[in-house]
Amino acid sequence: MSSPIDVEHRLTVALPHLSVRAITGFATVAKHAAQGAALIADGLAGGRSSSLVEALGIREASGTVLDHLYVISPAAARARLGLA
């Protein structure tokens, strides 16, 4: 498992045009995914994380997770989930 310092260094090298910084958790009981969702929501609302949203191109994203399935076709997945 990589240390946080190693991950930060690797991101800095891979993304030289971005400002990479380590963040600490907001709460001791929140899950990492929930904290990530909070950062994205903050950025979408124009808060401190707006540069993250812009760097990831979230506003330009389109489609659904079903569009990128390989084991089952998107149409079959929608039918199985009752979305067709």
> What tens digit of pLDDT does each residue of 11-49 get?
888 888 878 877 776 667 778 888 889 999 999 999 999
Cβ atoms within 10 Å, residue 17: 5
The pTM of the whole model exceeds 0.75: no
pLDDT of residue 4: 64
Mean confidence (pLDDT) of the chain: 85
Q: How far is Cα 2 from Cα 59, in angstroms, rounded to an integer? A: 30
Q: Tell the burial category of 3 from Cβ atoms under 10 Å away from its Cβ (0-12, 13-18, 19+).
A: exposed
User: CA distances (Å), 56 to each of 37, 40, 72, in order?
Assistant: 13, 10, 27
